[in-house]
Structure 1
């Protein structure tokens, strides 16, 4: 009786003391070490080159545009995507970044974000379409997407460095993994929200499943897809800044260097550049979403 009472007391006051602590840290470390030992060559030989090639090409293309012409181009993009106010804001924001002396860092950050978003769309869009076509596949993807989306960003940096060393590539890989879930989720959601009446009407006219997807479901789901793209861009930008810790350049490096040297001016200049870039990208993508079918235009300053 006394033993039962003692057991009940421990079960209430210290339930974890009744069991031996699981060596989770050791298991995870051993699993990551096994992946690194067996697949480092594959990741460095087949995953790293295309990511690095796209990133270098994007950076070369953006860096080769004269700053004055770049400012005119961003004004026109903002104007056509949203409104002349957004175009003027984009022009002023990028001009301010240039005046602060971090134009080159801005181009590097923009190249990293563009590369990450390109891979997120190329991978996430097909996966989102598959999720919309198969409930079983969507159910299998849901816990994986939860893990990708809720894992703290810093956790991605350790295995990325172990697999790819330091530099832009591991930062991009971590960014792609972290920023992809919204693209998959909102592609799935947007396609599923298309009214069944439109699909039945397209089938009545003899449309194939592929024609229904690209000519009916995809255009009607475009506002939701653009919302997913907007979230992916914002998450990519936030992760690219964090990736400066493992060697990714750009405005994040300005913030990290300022923090390391306790140079508040350098850190604030980098931070202001990141804020302005985020606001410009957000306004432009939201403007594109507002002009999609089924969404009324909405001008934002």
Structure 2
């Protein structure tokens, strides 16, 4: 993936961390910086089922979840699965769809299942949604509701590449698509085994308390109107376990929680009017909270 996404090793590592932590990723940035390329690169790296949904204003919920169609030959309704029935779902420009279409993802993101006409259908495992979106200020966008933003484990921002990385991109990607040479490095069963291994990474009582203390601090900060939810705390610990596993450890350190906290918590916060007037960045606020939260002492 680093050969496809030039100069963004931290972004690639975070995407893999969220995959192993059984989360979903929201990639938000201005057009043209490689959001969709990141999602497609991760999908190409896994030998599993992949579906892409181009979110548009006329997209219907049934296009995402599926629909029951009457079969005249068998005289019964049969279910036609929608785009979410895949291991990796790429939701391109998710905030260009109406809130009604966006809400179709709520159940499948949280429970890995879809309910249509009173019947529940399980989604394949592993299951990850990688959604891209342009900033809300862009034309033709609908802001994601808080309930849906909270279901994304992490929000990534690509940012502009450095001058050297952009020159390398022109050299390597100017003649052909970098995705053409990308080959899978794992299959769905292998990813499922890695996810199961990540679940066994030990998190001590002190580290779990540390994650709760950070989440609690976001709820009591004068800069924040709506802080991190209990779901966010759970996501923070899961991502911490995956971060530790990627660094070859069988236990979570406070450093893991500190590193992953800004991308896991920042997009969930609603800032106070004072913080908005001061143009404070949620990522900076989370980083400041992490710095002021007492780190558990080593034993």
Q: Greater share of strand residues, 1 or 2?
A: 2
- Structure (1 or 2) with the larger CA radius of gyration: 1
Give the TM interval when normalised to the shorter protein: under 0.3
With normalisation by structure 1, the TM-score equals: 0.23
With normalisation by structure 2, the TM-score equals: 0.23
